[in-house]
A and B are shown apart, each in its own frame.
Chain A
Amino acid sequence: MSRSLFGRYTVALQTIVYKEVRRFTRIWMQTLLPPMITTSLYFLIFGTLIGARVGEVEGRSFIDYILPGIILMGVISNAYGNVVSSFYGTKFQRNIEELLIAPVPNWVILAGYVCGGVARGLLVGLLVSVIASFFTTIHVEHWFVTLAVFVLTAVLFSIAGFINAVYAESFDDISIIPTFVLTPMIYLGGVFYSIDMLPSIWQKISLGNPILYMVNAFRYGMLGVSDVNLFVSFAIIVGFIIVLGGFAIHLLNKGVGIKP
């Protein structure tokens, strides 16, 4: 092997990422357009029509208050959805074998798919932000926090989507978690409200939802307000990335779901 390991792995990683980005941009009607339409409706209905009657939340107009959550909702569901459908599709069509027979380490495979998920999550986040700019003025209070939460959340849910795809044995298996677990967690994660509005028992229950920390950290970055401590939020996001990332590598090393 005349090429350096670093060079080979870099080319392999670029190839996976390029394939992933090409996949979701080629089918943009299925991947990029739907979140743009959905979020336009959110801004129109919840932001403009209902929001005008809701008044201010924590000193911000309702549309400004829900904006960070709606952007992050797009990031979470698209980063997750991209990896789970792409990796499962690769398993289903058996072209995962192209990767398994090649000298690509498992961490490069995981990194490649995660980068693809992050790319789609971030692109959808940006597109949603552009749509939001037609309804309100976008203001960012803390750029570093905003960008860090933006990227780390996309990384976290890309890894989660990967694990879902590893275990999935049918197309039903890749829609169960997003539909019955992820969506309720996002909606109950403080996208449309502050947990201060909830009765105290529900406030406590809400604190068990990790998405609440991400939404609030992102809201802190954009608006400077949060229901939870920023450092706790970062610790939770990074902690989940480490645990789920390690678990995903373990699954790949064991060949779970991909090698008989």
Chain B
Amino acid sequence: MKALSICDLKKTYGTGLEALKGISLDVEEGDFFALLGPNGAGKSTAIGIMSSLVTKSSGRITVFGHDLDDDPEAVKSCIGLVPQEFNFNQFETPLDIILSQAGFYGIPRKEALENAEECLKALSLWDKRSTISRMLSGGMKRRLMIARALVHKPKLLILDEPTAGVDIEIRRSMWQFLREINRNGTTIILTTHYLEEAENLCRNIGIINQGELVECSDMGSLLARLDLERFIFNLATPFPVDVEIPDYKIVANEGVVLTVEVGKGQGLSQLFSCFGQQNIEVISMRNESNRLEQLFIDLVMDESSGHQEEKQ
């Protein structure tokens, strides 16, 4: 079953800004889907429309078979939203915030208390349940918004840049938590500017640029499109500045750290032979971490330059 189906979604704001120019995409039940795009691409508008915070100009959205126009309450019941900015009452406690949210979803108090305890404990906030929320750290506030979004046990969780501004440790623990709830059956749609995050977590990916969907495929096939890959070698002794490696491009030579571009299907044997000839020992090697970033830049830049040409 499709968790989300968007058909020809358009949004033009009162200012005349055309934020979405007719995007269509499907997200399958159980998926972990990344919605990427540069700032102002239309991601937050799309999420706003899905979660009833923004009025669409035209198009159709269905969530688990419920049409947003025909049965908005059923759609809303299926969705949990973690917005980009803190939007809870900063003068209330986490427990009150979550209980109120549960109440808005029509969950009776006793059940709401049980759900709230479960969510706050899962996000390590139970000890802070009675603290005024403006006193919480940035990471805690982010986790509070996730706990709030989960209190009615949504089938589709939408996270709009959930790890923006949080440290690496918290980010990793949030990844672990999101992977776990996804394994337990919750479909997740994530927008992020950390492409490493999308590469690590998501199985499918959609890229929006200037209000249009420029890419929608699974992560594997997208990454397979990379013609070149970069490897970073940590060497025991510095690589000579004047030596070239036949058929390989040295991108950066920082002495004992060498970055080499390797073509698709080219292999690494020749490269290691070269190191051998130079009597250079390789201590370790790794892929340049963000392969998705290169693709993303290529896709978005292509699109932007295309639009620039059209305008000219």
Q: Could you tell me which A residues sit within 8 Å of B by CB distance?
A: 1, 3, 7-9, 11-12, 14-16, 18-19, 90, 93-95, 97-105, 255, 259-260
Give A27's nearest chain B residue, CB to CB.
Answer: B91
Q: Which residues of B contact A18 (CB under 8 A)?
A: 103
| B53-A100 in contact (CB<8A) | yes
Partner of A259, one of B53, B81, B83, B103: B53
Q: A98-B87, A98-B88, A102-B76 are known contacts. Are A19 and B100 too (CB-CB below 8 A)?
A: yes
| B104-A93 in contact (CB<8A) | no
Work out how many contacts link A and B, with CB atoms closer than 8 A: 78
| A95-B53 in contact (CB<8A) | no
| B104-A12 in contact (CB<8A) | yes
Q: For the complex, is B209 an interface residue (Cβ under 8 Å from A)?
A: no
| B88-A14 in contact (CB<8A) | no
Q: A259-B53, A260-B14, A260-B55 are known contacts. Are A98 and B100 too (CB-CB below 8 A)?
A: yes
Q: Could you tell me which B residues sit within 8 Å of A by CB distance?
A: 13-14, 48, 51-55, 72-74, 76-77, 79, 81, 83, 85, 87-90, 99-101, 103-109, 148
Q: A94-B87, A103-B73, A259-B55 are known contacts. Are A11 and B79 too (CB-CB below 8 A)?
A: no
Q: Which residues of A contact B85 (CB under 8 A)?
A: 94
Q: Which residues of B contact A100 (CB under 8 A)?
A: 52-53
| A103-B77 in contact (CB<8A) | yes
| A15-B104 in contact (CB<8A) | yes
Minimum C-beta distance from A93 to chain B (A): 6
Q: A98-B100, A102-B101, A260-B54 are known contacts. Are A93 and B90 too (CB-CB below 8 A)?
A: yes
Query: CA of A105 to CA of B106 in the docked complex: distance in angstroms?
Result: 11
Q: Which residues of A contact B76 (CB under 8 A)?
A: 101-103
| A98-B54 in contact (CB<8A) | no
Partner of A1, one of B55, B74, B79, B89: B74
| A15-B74 in contact (CB<8A) | no
Contact sample, A vs B, 25 pairs, CB 8 Å cutoff: A11-B103, A11-B106, A11-B109, A12-B103, A15-B104, A18-B103, A93-B87, A94-B87, A95-B89, A98-B101, A99-B104, A100-B52, A101-B51, A101-B76, A103-B72, A103-B73, A103-B76, A103-B77, A103-B105, A104-B104, A255-B55, A259-B54, A259-B55, A260-B14, A260-B54
Q: Which residues of B contact A14 (CB under 8 A)?
A: 103
| B83-A97 in contact (CB<8A) | yes
Contacts A101-B51, A103-B77 given; 11 further ones with Cβ under 8 A? A1-B74, A8-B106, A11-B108, A15-B99, A90-B89, A93-B89, A94-B87, A101-B53, A102-B76, A102-B101, A103-B106
Q: Which residues of B contact A260 (CB under 8 A)?
A: 13-14, 48, 54-55
Residue from B72, B77, B89 having most chain A Cβ neighbours under 10 A: B89
Give B149's nearest chain A residue, CB to CB.
Answer: A101
